[in-house]
Amino acid sequence: MESARDHLRLIAGGLLVGLPLLWTMEVWDDGAVLPAGKLLVLLAIAFAVVVGFNALAGFRRERSWRELLVDSVQALGLSVIVAAGALAVLGRLDPTLGLPTLIGRIAIETIPVAFGASLAATVMAAPDENESGGLGPDAATVGSLGRLLVAGAGALYFALNIAPTDEVRILAAEATEIQLLVAVLVSLATSLAIVFHAEFRGGRSDPSGDGPLDGPIGETIAAYAVSLIISLVLLWSFGSTDGTGPRTVLAQVVMLGIVASFGAAAGRLLVGSGSAGAGGGGSSGQREGTPA
C-alpha cells in the first residue's frame, strides 16, 4: 500500500509543521476576524506553494500536469481535513461560534498544515523512495529564479509562524531607526552566512552560474527582497497594516523580515546541494524554525 503510506506521511507532516499555529490563540481569533477575501488570498498562496513543492519533487516521481494538479488538490484537501480534525480535538470548533468563524478557523489553520504536507511529500520522504535524495534537482539545475521561488516558500513558512502574533507589532512600535538598520544588516549577513559560509548540508561556496543572481551577494540581496515582500503580504493578510502609518508598516516588515530571511536561507539549503540523503538533514534544518 504505497499510496496509503504516502498519505499517512502527508498527514503526519502536516500535523508536525502545523502544530505551533494550531496552538496559537491569535490564529484562532484571526479565523473569526479576517474577511473571507483575505482568507481566500492566503489559501491561494498556500495552494501555489503546494503546487510548487509538488512540481519540484512530489510524492510520485514521474507524472503529467494532470497528475501534478491531482496530487496538489489531494495535499490541500487532506490538509483541510487534518486542520479541521486537529481543531476539533482541541475543542476549537464550538458550534456557538457560528459557521463563518468555524470555516475561517479551518481555512487559516489549513495553511501551515498544507506547508507541512508538501514538505512531507518532498523532503521528508524516506531516501529509498526518493532515489535522488532531497528535492532532487540541485542548485544549478533549479536556476536562480527557482532558488528565489524556494526562498519565497521558506520565508513564507517561517514568517507565517510569527506574523499573526502581537510580538511583531510590539517590536515594530518600539524599534528605533538604528535598530531597524541593524536588523536589515543582521538579516543580510546571517542569510549570506547560512547559505554560503556556514557549511550546512546544502550550502554552497561556489557561484551556481554566471548571472547577476548567481553570486552570493546578488542572490542574498534578491532573497532578502523576496523575504520583505512575503513579510508585507503576510502582515497585510493578518490585518497588521490596517490603520498604521508607513513608518510602522516599514518597521513591521523589517522585524518580520529577519524571520523571513532565515526561512529563505533554510529553503535554499534544501535545494542547495541535491546530495543523497539531504532529506533528513534538510528537513531538520527546516523544522528548527517552527516554534512560534
Partner 1 sequence: MRRNWLEWAILAASVAAIVGLVGYLLLQVVADDGPARISVEAQAAEGAPAPTGWTLPVVVRNDGGEAAGTVVIEAAATVGGEEEVAELTIELLPAQSEAALVVGFSDRPEGEVSFRLVGYESP
Residues forming contacts to partner 1 in the complex (CB under 8 A) are 1, 3-4, 7, 29, 32-33, 35-37, 39-40, 43, 70, 73-78, 80-81, 84, 96-101, 103-104, 106-107, 110, 239
Name the residue nearer to partner 1 (CB basis): 78 or 258. Answer: 78
Residue 79 C-beta: closest distance to partner 1, Å = 9
The length of the chain, given as a count of residues = 292
Residue 121 C-beta: closest distance to partner 1, Å = 13
Name the residue nearer to partner 1 (CB basis): 117 or 148. Answer: 117
Residue 64 C-beta: closest distance to partner 1, Å = 12
Euclidean distance between CA atoms 264 and 242, whole angstroms: 26
Name the residue nearer to partner 1 (CB basis): 105 or 147. Answer: 105
Query: What kind and span of H or E run contains 71?
Result: helix 65-89
Residue located via cell numbers 554566471: 210
Closest-CA residue to 231 (of 165, 171, 156): 156
CA count, 13 A, side-chain hemisphere, 72: 22
Residue 47 C-beta: closest distance to partner 1, Å = 9
Report the amino acid identity of residue 122. Answer: T
Residue 76 C-beta: closest distance to partner 1, Å = 6
Name the residue nearer to partner 1 (CB basis): 26 or 167. Answer: 26
121 with 113: CB under 8 angstroms?
A: no
Report the amino acid identity of residue 78. Answer: L
